[in-house]
Structure 1
Amino acid sequence: LLPSFLGKVNDKGLPNNALLALSVIAILIGSVFSFTELAGLISAGTLIAFIIVSLGVYALRPREGKDIQEPGFKMPFYPVLPALAALGSGFIFYELDNQAKIYAFGWFALGLVIYAVYGAKHSKLSQN
């Protein structure tokens, strides 16, 4: 769904336009928030992503041998390990300071709004 100029790569295969755009965004965000705030936000985002990935194993595992013929990895100690990973990450997220949680949910909400507004207009599904 991103603009096509961000996907262009140079002759070495590097997406210079995307790197430049992300660098500018990172500089702007880094100039507004303190290091402590950014560290909390990054920790919260990483934990949320790990929780989602851990729980996603439960959706993928039943598909093995059906529409996923050769799984790219095997989850050891399934179904216990994904639950423990999600619960452990959830506990660490819960222990983060409230400001990090508020920022994380704010960024999540902003991302949903941007996705809904921009994505609905630029989706290949909506063009069919």
Structure 2
Amino acid sequence: VVDEDVDIYNIEDVLWALTTRVNPKEDILTICEGGFGQTFQPAERSSAGDRQWTQSNIRFSGAMGIDATRPFIHKDAFERARYNVEVVDLAKFYSPEQIRQAKAGQRDYAKFLAERGI
């Protein structure tokens, strides 16, 4: 689970939330195994046995949930820092060729950070 400031369709955003907002001791939830129910993991299905046995004896192998939201009482302390990348005029400091070369050499993660002002 992430907050509204994280784009769930962007893996870089999700990884950022996981690395900056998750306390492993408190925010990773483990759901105990052993309950009756539907098998979701391929490993559960392959080891479940024949169809008749599977229909009556399926046990859930467990699950995990991760809370990557800002702690409610400390929401202000977990605001994402942003820099005004729009106000910096690179042309004041570098030639067009230098800017082009620098951008061409950037990896995707550096581009992601630069575009968002992180």
Same fold (TM over 0.5): no
Q: Which has the larger radius of gyration?
A: 2
**Under a length normalisation based on structure 1, what TM-score does the superposition of the two structures give?**
0.26
**Under a length normalisation based on structure 2, what TM-score does the superposition of the two structures give?**
0.28
Whichever structure has more helix as a proportion of its residues is 1
Whichever structure has more strand as a proportion of its residues is 2
